[in-house]
Amino acid sequence: MKPSEPSRYDATGRRSASSARWALERLNPPSRLWGSNGVAFGPDGRLYVAQFLAGQISAVDPATGDVEVVVPMDSPVQSPDDLAFGADGSMYIADLVPGRVWRRSPQGKFTLVSGDVDNPNGITCIGDRLFVNEMKPDGRLMELFPGGGDGQDDGAGRDVREPVVLTEGLALGNAMQRGPDGYLYYPHMMSGANPMLTGQVWRIAPDGGAPEVVADDVHQPVAVRFDQGGVLHVLSRGPEGIVTRIDLHGSGSRTLVTSGVVGLDNAAFDAENRMFVSSYSSGGVTEMHPDGRTREIVPRGLDGPYGVTIDLAGRVYAADHYRVARPEPSREGGVTTHSLLHFSHGIVSDGELLHITSQFGQIQTYDPETGTTRERAGGLRRPLGITVAPDGSLVVAESDAGRVVAVDEADVLTVLADGLDRPVDVAFDAEDRCYVSDERLGAVLRLEPEGPPTVVVDGLDAPQGLAVLGDELFTVETGQRRLRAVSLTTGQSRTDAEDLPVGPPPGVVPRTEPALFAHGMPGLARRFAGLTTGPDGSLLLSANGEGTVLSLKPQQGPGLRTQ
């Protein structure tokens, strides 16, 4: 078995999980980036990539594809979504969930520019001037003052000069840029009448004035970028990877190019006018040619994954925060996007259907054949693990509410257990008994028909994914990065696999607990190491530290290591 390539979890490529009882195999290659959002070329010629889900920023060498983390997970920045460079080489960062804008000096010092922007996302610099917009309904576009001018320092390195609001009424602002005419161009990602109808690009003068629409009927605009010749490129956030090129100051002609990069997020042009794009749904960095051909600089992969399941036909599905994806070893890149179902975390197959929990607080049923989705419940507080009960109802761990709930075929919700600490996953045994992992309590509990739950095993370090095979219960102990097995007959437990690639890289502790919602928008994901059983007696694990799905098959003889 060969060691893996360097990944976001292990820059050396030498770490690997081990087990004496299971043969471990990756169903897809490890990914290098935890998603890729805002991108911008830095003074050193590297492409800097904001990674919202990871809470970090990496620098990519476009020639070699080498990736270096320059703003780590444990920095003051929590959820970077976009970035820009000022004239002096300072990096400015839109920290979306907590509503902060940061300056990172060329020497690496962080200064808080503002903590009063709602969902800051699009950010750009014009010389020494800094502009940011808000990704929310009725958002603002404003100029901030990171220092100098007539602002006054508050003693903590922050300029207290009030932001200047250029305009309001943005329909989810996002990546923006100054055009060759000196105006700021920005997309509207949704319309007020229908969140699914999008299509406008606006502009406004940097000193204010009346904003105006410059392009309408553009396909799902998420970012606007100008190439070195002044042609406007509008990226689509949809599954086709559409880029619309508009010659605003010439013939006005439009050209649509389909790249196949699902979930485009942002783009940057280098000095040679080469276009590099990012994907919020699958990460990576891709060079996109004018005719739509692409070349991978950093291969795309899984952002998570979180929940994992396998259907009756043996197809494996992963809930990957922004999508439902399929790891496919035979496919180039190893991953296929099945559907852009945003904020998916838990997933379970049920005949021809998939049931999914969403960070929007929903339980949904998705039909892969028709592409239709039915909402089964809403308004829940971070639902995570989901399973199908013997009676056909859907049982869900509602993590932030400390509950386990069930939704029947008529979509009636019933509370099965409450007063839990932080339930994460649920599973049933052959006797129809329900088990729940409680991450904060460090235990797996069995729900009883009457009375409080029974502790099956405790003393665990952040147990998450849960599965039952025969008389044994398995859980992913994420704090220790190991798989624990518990006999449901004797109560004895053992460690079945170690050094699992789950959670952040070893030695890295994210600074803050992920926030759930910010101004009506979903916040950061809680990393969820899902676990499920296969029809052949195997286990499937969402190895969210490296972006793979691991297959664990029973073996005889000495332990094997992941390839």
The string of pLDDT tens digits covering residues 254-295 is 999 999 999 999 999 999 999 999 999 999 999 999 999 999
The answer to whether the beta carbons of residues 544 and 534 sit under 8 Å apart is no
In CATH, what number is assigned to the domain containing residue 348? Answer: 2.120.10.30
Q: What is the pLDDT of residues 379-428, one digit of tens each?
A: 999 999 999 999 999 999 999 999 999 999 999 999 999 999 999 999 99
Instruction: Tell me how far apart the alpha carbons of residues 31 and 6 are, in angstroms, rounded to a whole number.
Output: 9
Residue 45 CB coordination number (10 Å):
12
The vertex-336 CA angle with 506 and 194, nearest 5°, equals 100
Query: What is the CA 142 to chain-centroid distance, rounded?
Result: 27
Query: Is residue 489 situated within a structural domain?
Result: no
Is residue 479 over pLDDT 80? yes
H/E segment holding residue 364: strand 362-367
- Whether residues 230 and 338 fall in one domain: no
Domain match, 407 and 450 both? yes
Give the torsion sign (CA, 428, 431, 433, 437).
negative
**Same structural domain for residues 243 and 331?**
no
Same domain, 370 and 268: no
Of 248, 287, 253, 283, the closest CA to residue 267 belongs to: 287
Phi-psi region of 547 (alpha: psi -120 to 50; beta: other; left: phi over 0): left
Is 441 domain-assigned?
Answer: yes
What pLDDT, in 10s, does the model give residues 85-97? 999 999 999 999 9
> Do residues 311 and 353 share a domain?
yes
Identify whether the C-beta of residue 297 lies closer than 8 Å to the C-beta of residue 276: yes
Give the domain-ending residue among 272, 298, 324: 298
State the burial class of residue 363 (Cβ atoms within 10 Å of its Cβ: 0-12, 13-18, 19+): buried
Claim to verify: residue 440 and residue 545 sit in the same structural domain: yes
Which of 298, 331, 354 terminates a domain? The answer is: 298
- pLDDT at residue 148, rounded to an integer: 47
The conformation of residue 146, written as its DSSP 8-state character, comes to: -
- Please report whether residue 128 resides in a domain: yes
Q: Are 62 and 297 in contact (CB under 8 A)?
A: yes
- Can you tell me the distance from the alpha carbon of 167 to that of 57, in angstroms, rounded to the nearest whole number? 29
pTM, rounded to two decimals: 0.93
Domain count, the chain: 2
Same structural domain for residues 363 and 453? yes
* β-sheet bridge partners, residue 287: 276, 295
Please determine, for residue 198, whether its predicted confidence score (pLDDT) is greater than 80: no
285, 353: one domain: no
Burial of 210 (0-12, 13-18, 19+ CB in 10 A): exposed
* Cβ-based neighbour number of residue 385 at 10 Å: 31
β-sheet with 353-358: strand ranges across: 344-350, 353-358, 362-367, 372-377
pLDDT of residue 192: 47
Instruction: Tell me what pLDDT residue 525 has.
Output: 72
Same domain, 68 and 213: yes
Residue 524 pLDDT exceeds 80: no
* pLDDT at position 151 over 90: no
Residue 485 lies in a domain: no
pLDDT band of residue 31 (cuts 50, 70, 90) is very high
pLDDT band at 193 (very low <50, low <70, confident <90, very high): very low
**Does residue 561 belong to any structural domain of this protein?**
no
The confidence score (pLDDT) of residue 527 equals 86
Q: Say yes or no to pLDDT of 444 above 70.
A: yes
**DSSP secondary structure string, 371-392?**
TEEEEEE---SSEEEEEE-TTS
158 and 289: one domain? yes
Instruction: Using pLDDT thresholds of 50, 70 and 90, give the confidence band for residue 197.
Output: low
Rounded to whole angstroms, the Cα distance separating 516 from 280 reads 18
293 and 368 share one domain: no
Q: What is the pLDDT of residue 249?
A: 80
Q: Is residue 28 part of a domain?
A: no
Pair (454, 405) in one structural domain: yes
Short-list 501, 468, 459, CA closest to 482: 501
Domain that holds residue 249: 39-298
329 pLDDT above the threshold of 80: no
Confirm whether 394 is domain-assigned.
Answer: yes
> Does any domain span residue 6?
no
Contact between 466 and 472 under an 8 Å Cβ cutoff? The reply is: no
> Which one of 298, 328, 362 terminates a domain?
298
DSSP 498: B
Residue 131: what pLDDT? 98
Average pLDDT on 71-80 reads: 94
pLDDT at 301 (0 to 100) = 94
Alpha-carbon dihedral of residues 278, 279, 285, 288, nearest 10 degrees?
Answer: -70
Examine the pLDDT at 334 and tell me if it is beyond 60: yes
Residue whose tokens read 């997970």: 73
